[in-house]
Each structure stands twice: as C-alpha cells, then as structure tokens.
Structure 1
C-alpha cells in the first residue's frame, strides 16, 4: 500500500516517516512532497492509496488538492492535518469524506490509528472493487455466451443483461461477429497483448461509430461482437478486421473470420455461427488471413492421385519430377476447401510414408529416431497447422533424401539394418549380439567388426547408449516411475540400470529427473 505525505515543513514530513511503524501499518512505499501542486502530481503519478496532507500549504492548500485528486482518483483515501482548529477546513474534510482529521502538534499514536483506519478502508474498498469487477466480468462473459448461442429461455436473460449493463442496444441494433483464432494459448501471449488489442480497438471503433463486446474462451479464441445503431457497411466491418490483424501480427500466428451483419441481439448468434464455419477453412490459407463469405458454389474436385508417378520419380532418383508432383498435389488440394483437414493430413502421411519406405530401401533415414529429438512421420504431419506447412514438410524431406543420395551419405547397409533392429527391439531385456546377427544373416564376429569400424562403438555400447537416451526421454515425463522406466528400456534389474545411467550421464536417474523438471 502506498502512502503520500504532503507538508510544507520538511522536518514534519520526514519526522512522520521516521517515527511511525509504517511496515506494521501495511505501508510498502512512502512518498514525500512539499505543497499541494507537487502532492497532486505525485499522488496521480504514483497512484497513492493513502494521502496524509497538511491543510494550509503554499500554492494549493490541502482541501483544493484533495478535491482535484478525488476527481481523477476517487479510490484514494485522504487524511487531513492542521495546526488550526478551523471549522471551515473541518467541514471541507467531512464533505470530502476524509477518513480522519488530526490536529497539530501531532500525536503519533493518534496518527498511527488514523493511518491504520485508512489502510483498513483501502483494503475494504479494494475487496469491494474486486468483487464488483468480478461480477461485472461474469456478466459480460454471460452476455457474450448468450450472443454466441442463446440457451433455452435465454432471450429474456439476454435482454435483462443488456439492461443491467446499461448498454445502448435496442431490438434494431446491428451486430457482426469477428472471431480470432490464436494459434498459441492466449495466456502465453505477452501481458500487454490482450489489453492493447481491446484498448486500441475501442479507440478505433469510436472513430467509425461502432462498439464492441469482447470475450476470450478456450484459451485460444477471442470473440468480438461489433455493434451499432445504424447498419454498418460490410467494408467497415472488414476494415475493423484489418485493424485487428495489424495488432495481432506482433504476437502470434492467427486467423480472423468475419460473420455477416445481422439485425438485433437475438440474431447475433447467426453471425457468430457463420464466422465459426469460415474459421474452419483456415487450414487452407496462410496465417493472418481474414476469412469471410465467398460468393459462388464450389465444385468438388478430388485431389490429384500422383502416387504411382511419385514412386517412380523417387526410385529413379528424379528430384525435379518428384518436387513437381508434390507441387501438383498441393495445388489440387489447396482450392478444395470441401475437404477436411484430417483427410488432407492422411493424404500427406501416405506420401511421406512412401518417401520413408523408399529411403529406408536405399539405407537413407529421413527421420531422427534417437534420443530426446526423436521424430515420427505422424508427429511431423500433425505438427503442421496449415496446408502450406504440410507441403513444405514434404518438399524438405524430398530435398533431404536427394541430397543424401548425392553426398553418398548412406549408411553401410549392415550398420543401417542393425540400428533399425535395435531401435525396434531395445526394450527386450534379452536382446543380444546373436539376435542382431541372426536378423542380418551374418556371423556375430563379422557384424561386431563392421559395426565398430563404421561407428567407432561396439554393438553393445551402441545398445546401452540408445537405451539410456530413450530412458532420458521417459524421465522427462513425471507420469512414469523410475522403476517402470528401467523395464521399458530393456533393464530387468533396476539397480544395474541406475548404475549404468550414472556412469554414462554423471547423475542418477532421480537426480537427472529432478534437474529436468526443475
């Protein structure tokens, strides 16, 4: 709590500060000023909660200062001090609802009591204000929910809320819904992002004779109902969406959708539902696109099926042809917004799987399968939010495949098969060199020799390293017990697993987990 002491006598204001147990009174910051003008500026600038002010001061007396302060900061609590038993000042103090009026020379116990009373008053006001704000916020949220989807009997509730919030909304008020899909949790945006959006938008809307009702839900979607007494032009609503886009582009990837203009609060949900449908097409567009009604009936055309030619281009090492076919697939899918994103992801998964299959047959691995950075095709596909990212993923993997072929960076076929077998079977406690040798149809001594020559590790060293890497990944998830992790990575003896882990990592599994999760 902040206390401002105003007195034209330096010894008085500093003496008060030094004599009182301000910390015990709940005061965390103290400011000192020498007259009413300086006091007013500091009270407003520092947002003082309690103002202890002398009455008689040069330039501006305490009563005048308090009057001006309370006009701009009505929550401030005033305590007057005076060396004179002046009834007029006392009347003014009562009129301003000052908490207390103490006479000079000051009695420190009396002053401490007055400040304690002021602090209690501040706390009570703060609690009351917080409760009022919470209630008002709840009302606004309820209002927005009713505008989005009227509940049974909700139209009466909607009208009642509009009256209670004293909004200039009548049956003839026009509405348009604007939805923002933030592709990052709203709670993870910079602290000022949401307040800036709401404040700047309010300023902009005032210039175009529009108002807003604003709501965040699902920690992802921001719904804004624009409304006006006169029917706004569609261009005006779209301009608002452009204004929002300029603000949002600084904070996160997003889409904006705009519903049609409708008449009456009871029909606002129709605009919202339309905007919600437009938002579903965001997958087929670039981030930041404003999605709205599109004229004309779309004719469904199935995506190009170029799998046979794609396979031929890969097996015959025709890079430009493979990339051209990927572009053909992309352009055939992009305008077809009658497809579901899940369907498109399935299509791209099939093409990436075919690429992976042919890569493995050439002993080229395109997906990192070891340690904490391990990947999978499906994770890559589901990690793409828009179609363009899926296309970029396919093209990137194609280029990587052909680049590795050109560089001759293919692994030795035997080593490649050995690693693949270990990656699939590392969790089997009995996995041994003979098992691996039998899989590649070669003798154990030959497999061990060639693996050591190619990798610099013995086969058992590689298996141990891989098991420990995979156990690190499991240790980063607190849902798994350490005893269970050891068996999941192929260790039947938990103590042996712990010793091996500490030898390689320098920490015990429990110490490693604590470090990871701290």
Structure 2
C-alpha cells in the first residue's frame, strides 16, 4: 500500500515518515510533497492508496488537491491535518466525503490510529471494488455469449443486461466479432501478461471510440465483440485484430479470425459465425495470421505425390533430395474446401511411417520408445496444429535419420535388436536370455558373447541397469508409489529391487526420491 504525505513543513512530512512504523501498518511505499501542486503531480503519477495532507499549503491547498485526486482516483483515502482555525476548510472537506482528519500539533499515536483505519478502509474498498469488477466481468462475458446466439429470448436477455450495465448500445450500434484460438489453455497463460495485453488493447480501442466485451469458451477460445456507434471500416477492425494478435503471440501461440461489421445487436451472431468459419482455415496458416473474408479458398489441386521418390532418396542416402521432396509436398497444399486437416495429417503419417521403416531397416529408432513419455508417429502427427508444424516434424525426423545413419555405421544389428527388445519388454519379471535369443533367432551363448563384446556388459547387467534407469524416472514422479514402481520395472520382489537399486545408485529408492523431490 502507498502513502503520499503532503505538507509545506519539511520537519513535519519527514518526521511522520521516519518516526512512525509505516511498514507495520502495511504501508510499503511513501512519497513526500512540499505543496498542493507537487502533491497532485505525485498522486497522478504514483496513484497512492492514502493521502495524508495539510490543509493550508502554498499554491494549492489540501482540499483543492484532494478534490482533483479523488476525481482521478475515486478510491483514494484522504486524511487531513488541520489546526483549530481551519474549520472553514474542513467544511469543504466534508463535502468531498473525506472527513477523516487529525489535529495539529500532531499526536503520533492519534496519527498512527488514523492511518491504521485508513489502511483498513482502503483494503475494504479494494475488496468491494474487486468484487464489483468481477461481477461486471461475468455479466459482460454472459452478454458476449448471448450475442453469439440468434434466438429471440437470448436477444431479450442481452437487452436487459445492456440496460443494467449502462452500456452505450442501441439498435444502430455496429458490431464485429473477433475469435481467438489459443493453443495453450487460457488458464495456464501468465495472468499479468494477459492483463497487460487486455489493458493496451482496451486503450487502443478507446482512442478509436470502440468498446469491447469478451468471453472465454472451453479454456481455449476467446470471443470478443467490438462495438461502436459509427460503422467502422473493415481495415480498421483488421488493424485492431493485428495489434491484438501481435501482442498475444509474444505470450503463446494464437490464431485470430475476424467477422464482418454488422449493424444492430440482432445481427451480431452473423459476425461471430463468419469468424468461426474463417477459423477453420487456421491449419493452413502460421500463428498470428489474421483470418477473415479475404482468406479465400484456392482451387483444389491434388497434393504432390512424391512418396516413392522420397523413399528412394532415403534408400540412396540423399539427404538434400529427401528434404527437397518434403518441401515440394508442403508447398503443394493450399487452403481449399476438399482437403481438411485430418486428410493432410493422414498423408504426412504415410511419409513419416515410410521414414520410420527406413530407420528400422538401418537399426535407427526415430521415436522415443522408453521412459515415461514415449512417442509414436501418430501422436507426433496429431500434436501438430498447423501444416507448417507437420512440415517441420517431417524435416526434423528426416535430418535425425541421416544424423543417426552417419553415427551408427559400425553398429551391430544384433545388438540394436536386443536393445529394442529389452526396451519394449523390461517390465516382464520373467524376461531372460533365452527370450532375447529367441527374438533374434540366435543361440543364447552367441547372443551373450556378441552383446558383451560390443557393449562391454553382460546381457543381465544391461537389463538390470536399464530397469534401474527406468525406475529412477518413475521415482522422479511423486504420483507413483515406491511399492508399485518395483513391479513396473520387472521386479516381483520389492526387497530385491531395493537392494539392486542401492547397489547401483548408492541410495535406497526412498532416499533417491527424497533428493530428487
């Protein structure tokens, strides 16, 4: 909480600041002013919660200063310091409804009590103001939702809300809908940054004579209605959307679509429905792109079918050619009414599956198959919200394929198959050397010899190390009980698991978890 002390006597204002335990009262910021003019300037700049001011000051007296401060910040609590002869000034102060005062010469205990009461008053006012704003925000959100619906009963309820909120909306008011699609749940976005965006956007709209209301749907979509008396140019609405999009995409990934300007609240839902239709084209564009009526569908052309050539480039180890073909595929997609996101994802799934097939043929694993967060081709594809992200995924996996291909030229295929089998079956307590040898179609003795020569570990040592490595990942997640983790990593005996863990790690599972968490 902030306090402004205004008094033309230096000893008085500094004495109050230095002698009173203002921190103990909950006051963390203190500003000093030597007259009413400086006091007003400071108040307008710093927005103090409490103003303690002398009544008689040069250039501008305390009552005049308080009047202007309250005009700018009605929630400010004013305390006057007055002598007995200042009764006429106090009458003016009472008209301001600022009747709290302390008499001079000052009694520090009396002043401390007055400031304590002012702090509580300000807190109570802040609580009431926050509750009032929250209620108004809820009503505006409900009004926004009602305007998306064409039913007469919704419009009747919207009219009542407009009246109770005192909004300058009538039958000729013009509306335009903005629809924002956040790729991160709205509740997870940084609140302070989102408040900054809202305030700057509101300020920009106010300068143009435009009001706004909004509603958050499904923790993903933000529906905004812009409204004004005059019919705004489509370009101005587009510029407003671009301003908002630029700010939002510095925080997270957003798409913004814009509906047309319509006249009358009974037509507001038309603008919203068109914005909703435009948003369907977001998959084919990058984040921050403004989707509106000018985002026209192009004539349909079948996408480039270069799967065979892509496969040949992989087989012939031609990285540049494979990436070039991936680029041709990407460039061949354009927004149209025939191919939607699901069909495009199906096509990319085929290319990534072909890439994975070449990877396995070369004993390369492109997808994480171990740990708590395993990956799959389909999960990778479905995690892409845009065509650009799909293209980036295919290119990244293609580069990974060639990097691992170069790094694994001397790798023994048998060892690769053994490790893959263990990674997929380590949780089975019965997993044994004969199981591994049967999988690779080789004798147990040959499997053990090859594995030891290639890795420096016996098969059983590798299996134990792998199980302990996996259990460490489970232990780092408090949702898993230690008693359950042993069975998850292939140990039917919890005591044996604890001994094996401590032998390798040097700590018991519970000690390791304590250090991790």
The TM-score normalised by the length of structure 1 is: 0.88
Structure 1 stretch 369-378 or stretch 441-450: which is displaced more? 369-378
Structure 2 stretches lacking a partner, 5+ long: none
The alpha-carbon deviation at position 24 of structure 1 amounts to 5.5
> In structure 1, how many angstroms separate the alpha carbons of the residues matched to 2:296 and 2:45?
57
**Greater CA deviation, 422-431 or 7-16?**
7-16
Equivalent position of 1:244 in the other structure: 244
Give 1:311 shift: 4.3
Q: Say if 2:297 and 2:337, in contact at 8 Å, map to a contact too.
A: no
| SS state at 2:53 partner | strand
Supply the distance in 2 between the matched residues of 1:294 and 1:137 (Cα, whole angstroms).
33
Alpha-carbon RMSD: 3.1
In structure 2, what is the equivalent of residue 338 of structure 1? 338
Counterpart CA distance in 1 for 2:410 and 2:259 is: 54
Cα distance in structure 2, aligned partners of 1:26 and 1:404: 61
Q: Residue 85 of structure 1 contacts residue 103 of structure 1 at CA under 8 Å; is this kept in 2?
A: no
Superposition deviation, residue 108 in structure 1: 4.0
Once the two structures are TM-superposed, the CA of residue 270 in structure 1 deviates from its matched residue by 1.9
For each residue in 1:216-246, what CA deviation from the matched residue of structure 2 results, as whole angstroms up to 9, or x when unmatched? Answer: 4444333222223343333333233333333
8 Å CA contact retained: 2:79, 2:100: yes
Q: Is the 8 A contact 1:174 1:263 kept in 2?
A: yes
Which residue of 2 is the match for residue 227 of structure 1?
Answer: 227
Alignment of 1:37-436 (within 5 A): 37-149=37-149, 153-189=153-189, 191=191, 193-206=193-206, 208-293=208-293, 303=303, 306-308=306-308, 310-315=310-315, 317=317, 319=319, 322-323=322-323, 325-336=325-336, 338-371=338-371, 375-405=375-405, 409=409, 411-436=411-436
Contact 2:364 2:401 in 1 (8 A): yes
Q: What SS class does the counterpart of residue 449 from structure 2 fall into? A: helix
Deviations 1:174-217 (A, max 9, x none): 22212222323445545554344334434444555543333444
Report the CA distance between 1:288 and its aligned residue: 1.9
Q: 1:407 to 1:134 in 2, by over 3 A?
A: closer
C-alpha separation between the residues in 2 aligned to 1:294 and 1:46? 46
CA distance in 2, matches of 1:410, 1:385: 38
Aligned pair in 2 of structure 1 residues 343, 489: CA closer, same or farther (>3 Å)? farther
Output the CA distance in 2 between the equivalents of 1:78 and 1:295.
56
Say if 1:259 and 1:271, in contact at 8 Å, map to a contact too. yes
For residue 47 of structure 1, report the CA deviation from its aligned partner.
2.7
What's the offset of the Cα at 1:361?
Answer: 2.0
Shift in CA distance, 484/251, structure 1 to aligned 2, threshold 3 Å: same
Return the offset for 1:289: 1.6
Tell me by how many angstroms 1:406 deviates: 5.1
8 A contact 1:283–1:387 mirrored in 2:
yes
| Contact in 2 for aligned 1:364/1:411 (Cα 8 Å) | no
The equivalent of 2:450 in structure 1 is: 450
Inter-CA distance 59–148: structure 2 relative to 1 (3 Å threshold)? same
Distance 2:11 2:321 in 1: 88
**Partner Cα separation in structure 1 for residue 150 and residue 486 of structure 2:** 54
TM-score normalised by structure 2 residue count:
0.88
CA gap of 1:196–1:103, structure 2 versus 1, over 3 A, is closer
Separation in 2, partners of 1:76, 1:385 = 48
Equivalents in 1 of 2:5, 2:265: separation in Å?
51
CA distance in 1 between partners of 2:18 and 2:288 (Å): 58
